[in-house]
Amino acid sequence: MSKRYGVIALARTTFDMEFAEEMKNDAFATLDASGIDTVGPRSLACDADAAAQALAQISAAGSIDLLLILQVTFTDATMTIRMARESSAPVALWGLPEPRLGGRLRLNAYCGINLAAHALGKAGLPYAWLFAAPDAADIHARLRSLANSTMPSRAAVEAIEPAEDDLADRVIGKLREGRVSVVGQHPDGFDTCAYNAAELSALTGISIDRVSLDDAFAKAKDAPAARAGAHRAQAAASLAGRHRRRRPGATRSIIAAALCARGHRRGKQGRQPGRSLLARDFR
């Protein structure tokens, strides 16, 4: 008996849409060759409205064995989370690799499926996944098995007995002295960037200082030229790709972040002094 999948192909127009269309067509051709009946539009859903319309069309088509979210390009996880919550069928992700040519990524589906999978896990939503080209070995069998291979919503972690480790103890000690300045708010759909300050403090001892973007750029704007120049020189000496042309405002963004971190370490605005954590602290 053939499987029946509802399929929604996600993409963003900021990527190579001609290539995305080609990869999407190859993916649907592979689904057809696998003996899988598909329902839903075979067009790219490039925004929330298109994804909602696709899901409505699939829901109206009747029972399905699987909701397959086809990750054609990078997208945030907003649409994926919404569709997974609304779907009565199991959910799977299929990401499409692209050739590594050394230049700008044309699709970046790998990061898209990784972000989506992590967001589903954080939300407690079970899913299956596949990251393979439409012409990969055993692709037909792997696609047909997706409906029966949904991962649990929470990973099982075995308890381990702690062992004595001087380096680990030093790292824990450094963490408990630390403060982290978080500038701005993570974008919608980037759930992997979300955090719980209370849980972080209980687990590691690290405290969080929140800084709005407006405050960060106000600090940068009001910074004396000499101080701004010092941060600019420090960034130029340590950042990869520093010789490339930067977008307007990029330097000021670097200075803003540096000033906020430095200000919080010194205990400004009524905060207690703390240490900024750097990689070298753990060497």
pLDDT in tens, 149-165: 766 555 555 666 666 77
Determine the 3-state secondary structure of 127 from DSSP. strand
Question: d(Cα 83, Cα 158) in Å, to the nearest integer?
Answer: 31
Domain of residue 104, CATH code: 3.40.50.10940
Helix spans in 177-212 (H): 197-204
Number of folded domains that form the chain: 2
- Whether residue 128 is contained in a domain is answered as yes
- Whether residue 153 is contained in a domain is answered as no
Looking at the fold, whether 136 and 272 belong to one and the same domain comes out as no
Question: 251 - beta bridge partners?
Answer: none
Q: Who's near 174: CB < 8 A, 6+ residues apart?
A: 275, 277, 281, 282
- Whether residue 272 is contained in a domain is answered as yes
- Whether residue 238 is contained in a domain is answered as yes
- Whether residue 178 is contained in a domain is answered as yes
Looking at the fold, whether 125 and 209 belong to one and the same domain comes out as no
Supply the mean pLDDT for the chain. 83
Question: d(Cα 67, Cα 147) in Å, to the nearest integer?
Answer: 9
Range of the domain at 143: 4-148
pLDDT in tens, 194-219: 788 888 888 888 888 888 888 888 88
Written as six digits, the tokens of 282 are 């753990």
Looking at the fold, whether 92 and 198 belong to one and the same domain comes out as no
Helix (H) or strand (E) holding 35: none
The percent of the chain in helix, strand and coil, each rounded to the nearest 5, is 45, 15, 40
Looking at the fold, whether 115 and 185 belong to one and the same domain comes out as no
pLDDT in tens, 240-275: 665 555 555 555 666 666 656 555 544 444 444 444
Looking at the fold, whether 40 and 95 belong to one and the same domain comes out as yes
Residue 281: per-residue pLDDT: 46
Looking at the fold, whether 115 and 174 belong to one and the same domain comes out as no
**Can you spell out the DSSP letters for 233-269?**
HHHHHH-TTTTSPPPTTHHHHHHHHHHHHHHHHTT-T
